[in-house]
Structure 1
Amino acid sequence: MTADQGTISTLGHTTYERLRDMILNGELPAGASLQEKKLAERLGVSRTPVREATMRLMTEGLVLRSAGATPVVRRLSVDDFIEVLHIRRLLEVEAAGRAAQTGGSPELSAVAARIAEFRDGVEPTPAEHVAVDDRLHLIIAGLAGSRLLAELIEDLRKKTRIFDMGRVPERFEPGVREHLAIIDAITARDASRAQDAMREHIDNVRASVMSHLRRFF
């Protein structure tokens, strides 16, 4: 790879990450049109990396494009959300059980310490809350020892995050307690308890989000 090719590759990845983050944080909401020229101007890049990033986001299911139409941010239905979360539940419960066989990791301990600060009154920004939540679940997926399992969980989490753009504030404190219960079970090498804790956590997320969605559907 030449220096120019490396620069182009890096720019394409950076553009992809910026667009993905704009989708996940709601800056580009569901249904938003992704026009290459406007996005290129907005991001200060040429249209090529925007086109490449859009194609990558399409393969991940975050963006859709009908024949001949401008790509748009995917809009998930309630049924889509339920289906994706159901699959997440199956995979993340399995991952938690496998992770418990390892007893944890320094990365898990570091995230646990931060979540404990949330429990003790430290209030994170919404962005940090989302980042820590993602980090925890992906660390657990990584500890399961299967790259494919970890990749599937990461992809499914992206899909449910898009649907839940508005977040559910009342889930913060229960979520903190549930996360700490999962971590405690993993570090205790209690696979059954870790699976039960993860299952309860995802079931509670589903119930809370569905209750929130009923206000709009």
Structure 2
Amino acid sequence: MSPSDYLGSEPTLGKSTYQRIRGMILDGTLVPGTRLQEKAFADRLGVSRTPVREAIAQLMSEGLVAKPAGGAPVVNSISLSDIMEILHVRRLLECEATRQAALSGKPLDELLELRSEIKGFLEGPRPDAETHASVDRRLHLALARMAGSGLLTELIENLKTKTIIYDKGSIPDRFEPGCHEHLAIIDAVIARDADAALEAMRVHLTNVREAIILHISQPF
């Protein structure tokens, strides 16, 4: 089951528990190494231990939670080497997905809506980190869906989530360049220019990688 199956509009108790714990991981409320004890989280969220257990199992399958031998599950950490590998694989997958999206001939309504939102970010007040991250995620997944492969979409979604865990908006200088890069990707897909779309995504993910490396080497 993919994360999207747990993020539907009509969540069950298990899904809502998963969404709440997942949200706390992604926004940094639960830092890497936090122990996820079933009873403690059941009491914290006001649910029984069963939905907590199910949520933890799903988060483990996504790589957001790890279970050390003989210990309680903990929030997973993403190292620099991990994120470099993730971004390498994302570039392989998403460049091809974006190329296929440009060739797909599928409706462009969602991309046009995202383009308008991103233009609004640049022309109006800067959005909060959560709003910006949501649009960023929607764009990458929209392109993956346009490519026409459910498996590809699931892989990209999982890798994108791990990138968010590492970043958490800690590279503010990427906001404006990232918006312009997203617009270049969208414009190439709207123009049905597969080569330009692939190159725009390649440039975007390469710049993300370089910004993370620079941030690590010059954190202050």
Structure 2-normalised TM-score?
0.91
* Structure 2: 5+ residue stretches without partners: 1-10
Work out the CA distance in 1 between the residues paired with 2:136 and 2:144. Answer: 13
Task: Provide the residue aligned with 1:158 in structure 2.
Answer: 161
Work out the CA distance in 2 between the residues paired with 1:109 and 1:195. Answer: 18
Q: Secondary structure at the match of 2:104?
A: coil
Task: Provide the residue aligned with 1:79 in structure 2.
Answer: 81
Give the CA deviation at 1:147. 0.8
Task: Provide the residue aligned with 1:5 in structure 2.
Answer: none
Task: Provide the residue aligned with 1:205 in structure 2.
Answer: 208
Work out the CA distance in 2 between the residues paired with 1:207 and 1:52. Answer: 37
Task: Provide the residue aligned with 1:114 in structure 2.
Answer: 117
Task: Provide the residue aligned with 2:54 in structure 1.
Answer: 52
Task: Provide the residue aligned with 2:63 in structure 1.
Answer: 61
* Structure 1: 5+ residue stretches without partners: 1-8
Give the CA deviation at 1:142. 0.6
Aligned pairs, number: 208
Deviations along 1:67-95, whole A, 9 cap, x unmatched? 22011111121111100110001100001
Work out the CA distance in 1 between the residues paired with 2:23 and 2:217. Answer: 27
Work out the CA distance in 1 between the residues paired with 2:125 and 2:94. Answer: 27
Q: Secondary structure at the match of 1:79?
A: helix
Give the CA deviation at 1:166. 4.5
- Name segments (4+ residues, structure 1) moved above 6 Å: none
User: RMSD over aligned Cα, in angstroms?
Assistant: 1.3
Deviations along 1:151-208, whole A, 9 cap, x unmatched? 1100111111111124311100000100000000000000000000000000000111
Give the CA deviation at 1:215. 4.1
2:144 maps to 1:141: yes
Q: Secondary structure at the match of 2:72?
A: coil
Q: Which of 8, 25, 28 lines up with 1:26 in the alignment?
A: 28
Q: Which of 20, 36, 39 lines up with 1:37 in the alignment?
A: 39
Work out the CA distance in 2 between the residues paired with 1:43 and 1:144. Answer: 38
Deviations along 1:72-121, whole A, 9 cap, x unmatched? 11112111110011000110000110111135521111111100111213
Q: Which of 121, 126, 138 lines up with 1:123 in the alignment?
A: 126
Work out the CA distance in 2 between the residues paired with 1:134 and 1:152. Answer: 13
Work out the CA distance in 2 between the residues paired with 1:166 and 1:71. Answer: 25
2:187 maps to 1:176: no
Check conservation: 2:129, 2:169, Cα contact below 8 A: no
Work out the CA distance in 2 between the residues paired with 1:193 and 1:166. Answer: 28
Deviations along 1:8-37, whole A, 9 cap, x unmatched? x81111111111111111111111111212
Check conservation: 2:64, 2:76, Cα contact below 8 A: yes
Q: Secondary structure at the match of 1:101?
A: helix
Deviations along 1:113-141, whole A, 9 cap, x unmatched? 10011121331111000000000110011
Structure 1-normalised TM-score?
0.92
Deviations along 1:46-84, whole A, 9 cap, x unmatched? 111111100111111110002220111111211111001
